C-alpha cells in the first residue's frame, strides 16, 4: 500500500528574502502588443537607447554568434584591456558584470554584513535597497532636496554602521546630478571603511560643467566604485554588460563572490566594438539632447512642470493621478513609467525617444490631459 502523503509545506523563506520588494520592470512592448491587441507600441519606460546599438556592435555579435558553443572568457581579458585603455586606468581596477545591476548585487554580497547600513537617496534606483535587504543590512534613504541627492543631509546620516553609500549620478528617476564640489565635500566626511558607489549609468549623457567624472576619485585612491554600463547610450541593454572601476582590493573582493562566467561572449564582443565607435556614442548624445530640449519645450507649452534632465529620460508632473495617465497612454500603445516606490504620485518618467516617438507620446499625452 502506498502511504498517503500530505502535500509538502511551502518552504520557509528567510526574513531577508521575504522582505525583498520584487523589481517591477517596464513592460516589454511585445507584451503590451499581445495583451491589448495593439500594432504600434512604443516603449519609453526603461531608459533604453531608442536607436539600439551601433552597427559595429551588431556586426561583432553576428561574427561571434558561431562561437557560443564555448564558455565565455571568465576574465573578459580583451574587454578589460579595451576599457583600461579607453578610460586610462590599469586593468586590475576594472570589473565586469551581467549589467551594472549585477555589480550592485555583488558589492552587497561582498561587503555587507547583518546590521550594516546602506545609505542612499530617495527616490533613487531601486536596486540599492534590494542589495541591502538581501544581506540583512538596513537601507537608510535620505529624501532628495529639489529632486537632487542631498549630500549634506546624507553626511549627517553617516553612522558607525554605514558600510556602503550609493549615489546615482545622474540620478534615476530624476535625471539630476550632484556637482564636483558637493561630492568632494561629502567624500571628506566619509570614514575610511565606507565604500562610496558612484552609479554613473547615464554618465555619457550628462551636460553640466560641474558634473564630476567619478574615475578621478578612484585615481585619487578613495574607496570609490564607479559603475557604468553598455545598456544605456551604447544601446546594448539586452546583452547585459556593465562595468565598475575601483581600487584593486575592491575588484578582487567582487571576483571572490562573482559567478565565473557572468558576462556572456556576445556581450564581451559587442561591448568592445561599441567602445571603439565613439562617433556613434557622440551622435546618440546629440540626439538625446535634441530630444530633451524638444520635450522640455513641449512640456512648457502644455504648462507641465518637469525636472530638467542630465540623462535620457525626463520626470514630468502631470498634476493628476499619474497612474491613470500611465494606463491611458498604455492603452494608446505608449509605455512610460510611474512607480509607487518613487513616492511621486503625479509624475511620469518618460525615456527620451526618437523624434517620431517623442511626437507620438506628446500627441497622446496632450489628448489625454485635455479629456
Ligand X SMILES: Cc1ncc(COP(=O)(O)O)c(C=O)c1O
Report the interface residues with ligand X, using CB under 6 A: 47, 99-101, 125, 168, 172, 199, 201, 229, 231, 237, 242
Cβ proximity to ligand X: between 309 and 362 the closer is 309
Of the candidates 269, 200, 204, the one whose C-alpha atom is nearest the C-alpha of residue 49 is 204
Task: Tell me the angle at which helices 55-64 and 265-276 cross, rounded to the nearest 10 degrees.
Answer: 150
Cβ closest to ligand X, residue 202 vs residue 361: 202
Whichever of 47 and 223 has its CB closer to ligand X, that residue is 47
- Give the integer Cα–Cα distance in Å for 358 and 70: 42
Of 182 and 199, the one with the shorter C-beta distance to ligand X is 199
Query: In angstroms, what is the minimal distance from the CB of 232 to ligand X?
Result: 7
User: What is the nearest approach in angstroms of ligand X to the Cβ of residue 286?
Assistant: 21
| Min dist. Cβ of residue 195 to ligand X (A) | 16
Q: For residues 237 and 251, which CB has a smaller minimum distance to ligand X in the complex?
A: 237
Helix H or strand E encompassing 166: strand 162-168
Report in angstroms how near the CB of residue 98 gets to ligand X at its nearest: 8
What angle do the packed helices 77-87 and 265-276 form, to 10 degrees?
20
Q: Kindly report the length of the chain.
A: 371
Sequential DSSP letters for 101-112: HHHHHHHHHHH-
Do the Cβ atoms of 298 and 362 come closer than 8 Å?
yes
**Which lies closer to ligand X via its Cβ, residue 259 or residue 356?**
259
Minimum gap (Å) between residue 187 Cβ and ligand X? 19
For the residues of 26-86, what is the DSSP string, one character each?
Answer: PPPHHHHHHHHT-S--EE-SS---TT-S-HHHHHHHHHHGGGTTSPP-TT-HHHHHHHHHH
Between 194 and 239, CB nearer to ligand X: 239
Residue 190, all three cell numbers: 566619509
In the complex, least distance from residue 234 CB atom to ligand X, rounded to whole angstroms: 10
Would you state the cell numbers that stand for residue 141, as one nine-digit string?
534613504
Rounded to a whole number of angstroms, the minimum distance from the CB of residue 236 to ligand X is 9
Q: Which residue is nearest to ligand X (CB)?
A: 99
Rounded Cα–Cα distance for residues 78 and 272 (Å): 8
Q: Hey, how many other C-beta atoms are within 10 angstroms of the C-beta on 258?
A: 21
Report the Cα 209 to chain-centroid distance in Å: 22
Instruction: Give the three cell numbers for residue 85.
Output: 585603455
Amino acid at each position: 500500500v502506498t502511504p498517503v502523503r500530505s502535500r509538502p509545506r511551502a518552504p520557509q523563506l528567510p526574513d531577508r528574502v521575504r522582505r525583498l520588494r520584487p523589481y517591477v520592470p517596464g513592460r516589454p512592448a511585445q507584451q503590451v502588443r499581445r495583451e491589448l491587441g495593439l500594432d504600434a507600441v512604443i516603449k519609453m519606460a526603461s531608459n533604453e537607447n531608442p536607436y539600439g546599438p551601433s552597427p559595429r556592435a551588431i556586426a561583432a555579435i553576428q561574427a561571434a554568434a558561431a562561437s557560443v558553443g564555448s564558455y565565455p572568457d571568465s576574465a573578459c581579458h580583451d574587454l578589460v584591456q579595451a576599457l583600461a585603455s579607453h578610460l586610462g586606468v590599469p586593468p586590475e581596477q576594472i570589473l565586469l558584470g551581467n549589467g551594472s545591476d549585477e555589480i550592485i548585487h555583488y558589492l552587497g554580497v561582498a561587503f555587507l554584513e547583518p546590521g550594516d547600513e546602506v545609505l542612499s537617496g530617495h527616490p533613487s534606483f531601486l536596486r540599492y535597497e534590494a542589495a541591502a535587504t538581501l544581506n540583512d543590512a538596513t537601507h537608510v534613504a535620505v529624501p532628495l532636496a529639489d529632486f537632487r541627492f542631498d549630500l549634506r543631509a546624507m553626511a549627517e546620516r553617516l553612522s558607525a554602521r554605514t558600510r556602503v553609500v550609493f549615489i546615482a549620478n545622474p540620478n534615476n528617476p530624476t535625471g539630476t546630478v550632484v556637482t564636483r564640489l558637493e561630492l568632494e565635500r561629502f567624500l571628506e566626511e566619509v570614514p575610511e571603511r565606507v565604500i562610496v558607489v558612484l552609479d554613473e549609468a547615464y554618465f555619457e549623457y550628462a551636460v553640466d560643467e560641474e558634473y564630476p567624472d567619478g574615475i578621478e576619485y578612484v585615481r585619487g585612491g578613495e574607496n570609490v566604485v564607479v559603475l557604468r554600463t553598455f545598456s544605456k547610450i551604447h544601446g546594448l541593454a539586452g546583452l547585459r554588460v556593465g562595468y565598475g572601476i575601483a581600487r584593486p582590493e575592491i575588484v578582487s573582493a567582487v571576483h571572490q563572490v562573482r559567478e565565473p562566467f557572468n558576462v556572456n561572449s556576445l556581450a564581451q564582443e559587442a561591448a568592445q566594438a561599441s567602445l571603439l565607435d565613439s562617433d556613434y556614442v557622440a551622435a546618440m548624445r546629440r540626439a538625446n539632447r535634441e530630444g530633451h530640449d524638444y520635450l522640455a519645450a513641449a512640456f512648457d507649452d502644455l504648462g507641465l512642470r518637469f525636472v530638467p534632465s542630465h540623462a535620457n529620460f525626463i520626470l514630468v508632473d502631470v498634476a493628476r493621478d499619474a497612474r491613470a495617465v500611465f494606463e491611458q497612454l498604455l492603452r494608446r500603445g505608449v509605455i512610460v513609467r510611474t512607480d509607487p516606490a518613487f513616492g511621486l504620485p503625479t509624475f511620469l518618467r518618460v525615456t527620451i525617444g526618437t523624434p517620431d516617438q517623442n511626437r507620438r507620446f506628446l500627441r497622446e499625452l496632450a489628448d489625454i490631459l485635455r479629456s
